[in-house]
A and B are shown apart, each in its own frame.
Chain A
């Protein structure tokens, strides 16, 4: 029996059995993961503890988003992890039962169980040995789910605490599997530098396009910078030279680097669209304020080019998180310094244009949207030592509805007023994902 014959049987069986339950998800997650295409029920916020505030610890904060809940728009759970770690990013396992989060300073990885009671996550496991396991990688950043494993990008290393770093893979049980160092000029590992690209070995985000067997990584800066006071760093000429300027194309299956692209100014988040023929990804550069397109050209080769400015680059608005719509037509782009979010029309990915902007607050970092794009959530913290000072250091999760023309505020949670800390990455949860 060949695949086509078997496929015919499948179609027949599907018709007989009726509609199947469809899993669903927000727009920027690993494509291997079940998705929430309907109403998200909870948002989990990985939150940095602040000295002298509340219990001073990093914590996973759960906010109720259920439309019919009397607690909607309120914090319904807060789970502290016993210290401050420079809480930053996190990602679900491919089965979406566990939420992995990292501490950029202590290198601890906290794995939360979000399936047993999605309204009340519990701490399932803590990995204390990331640096030792990986052979010296520091700063576990992005957690990208693969079948049976978690790929974690590092930001630094324990040798010079600069930006040279690696990808580190753990299995779903939280056991170390492998380390893949980023290519450098002295060890290209078979990769080719495109044009005038210089392989710097830096890391930040990771995303994949499975049907093309493509994986992309971006590049930020090392521990010596991300733990430094932001104002001090801006005055330090040498420190300002220690930022990544590359995006690396990898073979997803073999985990081998193939190309190094020159993307100057610290390219951060990477987002692939969802369309079956969309062979490109977007990224933004923090220091040069550009929107970049990494795309497959007509000859099947992958290329990189900047396609738009974000605000006025001379003002250094510092683009941070981005979120692509499920229909691939628009892209939210946040910028930290001016506290703005901008919406780009990306229907022609080679010629994006800004169609809307709104100031969220004095600082803004992360953005997450529902699958239908009608609900958009923003949070505030970048890094403990990079967040603004004094009255400008506002810390919040703020929810909006998007009617296609305007962001309309739904609810706002002041994380400082509640003694929680600095609100960083947001991820959605739903009990609908689990039936047992």
Chain B
């Protein structure tokens, strides 16, 4: 698929590429369109997701740049990691036990990651990014252990790429949190970091196109927004 994409660009049809590309994905995934159909509805979300492309996703803000570390300790520019892909970005800390916090984000991301196998080709356009806001405890070794099941997944190449990231320290982390608007409060209990659950949809240009909180982190909504972005690209 990537070869075909390069060929299309080389042949001078780059301007129409998104439309062609979406057609290819849609064609492959025809039995499961819309994308949300690959998920089983959860009882806490008592509505049907909207029709993909039937609405406009706003442009909330430009995502900040900053330095992050991957599971191998490699230092990356966050902007470089996100650019060119549609990103579902979440902030968590691995020790979080708040059932209305990080575990909801993580279970939703695992669900999307697993289901993406049923949406062939989607990994060319979409990726998951999870950033720890607890660099002191979520070290490179810790996130590497956390991400181990992803690394040994035999079907990983058929699923969305998932970047699990941390940072060297709070100096590197804080501008990223501030830029996204992810608020955290370090409580007197050193074990607990109070935070509001947030996830972000970021487009290929690094613009936040939607923000999700408790009650809206529905994998069907997230993937419908992703599909809407792809449709937007195909129409532009």
B54, B107, B191, B212: the one contacting A3 at CB < 8 Å is: B107
A6, A97, A169: the one contacting B103 at CB < 8 Å is: A6
B103:A13 contact, CB within 8 angstroms: yes
A21-B187 CB under 8 A given contacts A172-B181, A253-B50, A254-B50: yes
A2-44 residues with Cβ-Cβ distance < 8 A to B are 2-3, 6-7, 9-11, 13-14, 16-17, 20-21, 23, 31-32, 34
B181-236 residues with Cβ-Cβ distance < 8 A to A are 181, 183, 185-189, 191-192, 194, 196, 198, 200, 208, 211-216, 221
A256-B55 CB under 8 A given contacts A21-B192, A149-B60, A435-B186: yes
> Please, what's the 1-or-0 string for A234-262, where 1 marks a CB less than 8 Å from any CB in chain B?
00000000000000000101111000000
Is A210's CB within 8 Å of the partner chain B? Answer: yes
B106:A6 contact, CB within 8 angstroms: yes
A92 to chain B, nearest CB (A): 12
Q: Which residues of A contact B157 (CB under 8 A)?
A: none
A162-185 residues with Cβ-Cβ distance < 8 A to B are 169, 171-173, 175, 177-178
Q: Which residues of B contact A16 (CB under 8 A)?
A: 97
A1-B149 CB under 8 A given contacts A7-B107, A147-B212: yes
B55:A171 contact, CB within 8 angstroms: no
B60:A2 contact, CB within 8 angstroms: no
A32-B55 CB under 8 A given contacts A1-B149, A10-B99, A13-B103: no
A2 to B46, CA, bound (A): 20
B198:A148 contact, CB within 8 angstroms: yes
Is B148's CB within 8 Å of the partner chain A? Answer: no
A148 to B182, CA, bound (A): 9
Q: Which residue of A lies closest to B211 (CB)?
A: A148
Is A95's CB within 8 Å of the partner chain B? Answer: yes
Is A389's CB within 8 Å of the partner chain B? Answer: no
A3:B110 contact, CB within 8 angstroms: yes
Q: Which residues of A contact B99 (CB under 8 A)?
A: 7, 10-11, 14
A254-B188 CB under 8 A given contacts A20-B98, A148-B211: no
B6-46 residues with Cβ-Cβ distance < 8 A to A are 42, 44-46
A211:B45 contact, CB within 8 angstroms: yes
Most buried by B among A3, A21, A31: A3
A18 to chain B, nearest CB (A): 9
A10-B103 CB under 8 A given contacts A2-B110, A173-B181, A211-B44: yes
B42, B55, B111: the one contacting A254 at CB < 8 Å is: B55
A175:B196 contact, CB within 8 angstroms: no
Q: Which residues of B contact A212 (CB under 8 A)?
A: 46-47
B156-199 residues with Cβ-Cβ distance < 8 A to A are 181, 183, 185-189, 191-192, 194, 196, 198
Q: Which residues of A contact B124 (CB under 8 A)?
A: none
Is B114's CB within 8 Å of the partner chain A? Answer: yes
Number of interface residues of A (CB under 8 A): 45
A1 to B150, CA, bound (A): 10
Q: Which residues of B contact A148 (CB under 8 A)?
A: 60, 181, 198, 200, 208, 211, 213
A211 to chain B, nearest CB (A): 5
A253:B97 contact, CB within 8 angstroms: no
Q: Which residues of A contact B194 (CB under 8 A)?
A: 21, 23, 435
Q: Which residues of A contact B75 (CB under 8 A)?
A: none
Is A186's CB within 8 Å of the partner chain B? Answer: no
Is B74's CB within 8 Å of the partner chain A? Answer: no
Is B59's CB within 8 Å of the partner chain A? Answer: yes
Q: Which residues of A contact B50 (CB under 8 A)?
A: 251, 253-254
Number of interface residues of B (CB under 8 A): 45
Most buried by B among A14, A149, A214, A254: A254
Q: Which residues of B contact A13 (CB under 8 A)?
A: 97, 103
A147:B59 contact, CB within 8 angstroms: no
Is A434's CB within 8 Å of the partner chain B? Answer: yes
Q: Which residues of A contact B110 (CB under 8 A)?
A: 1-3, 6
A436 to B189, CA, bound (A): 12
Q: Which residues of A contact B212 (CB under 8 A)?
A: 147
B181:A7 contact, CB within 8 angstroms: no
A225 to B81, CA, bound (A): 53
A156 to B145, CA, bound (A): 56
A3:B108 contact, CB within 8 angstroms: yes
A211:B61 contact, CB within 8 angstroms: no
22 examples of A-B residue contacts, CB within 8 angstroms: A1-B110, A2-B110, A3-B107, A3-B110, A6-B110, A7-B103, A20-B97, A21-B189, A21-B192, A23-B194, A32-B213, A32-B215, A94-B196, A147-B213, A171-B181, A175-B61, A211-B47, A212-B46, A213-B46, A213-B47, A251-B55, A254-B50
8 closest residue pairs by CB, A with B: A148-B211, A147-B213, A254-B55, A210-B215, A6-B107, A213-B47, A10-B103, A13-B97
B residues engaging A (CB < 8 A)?
A: 42, 44-47, 49-50, 54-55, 58-61, 97-99, 103, 106-108, 110-111, 114, 149, 181, 183, 185-189, 191-192, 194, 196, 198, 200, 208, 211-216, 221
A residues engaging B (CB < 8 A)?
A: 1-3, 6-7, 9-11, 13-14, 16-17, 20-21, 23, 31-32, 34, 94-95, 97, 146-149, 169, 171-173, 175, 177-178, 210-214, 251, 253-256, 434-436
Could you list 15 further interchain pairs (A-B, Cβ under 8 angstroms) beyond the known A147-B216, A172-B181?
A1-B114, A13-B97, A14-B98, A17-B192, A20-B97, A95-B183, A97-B183, A146-B213, A171-B60, A175-B61, A212-B47, A251-B55, A253-B55, A253-B221, A435-B194
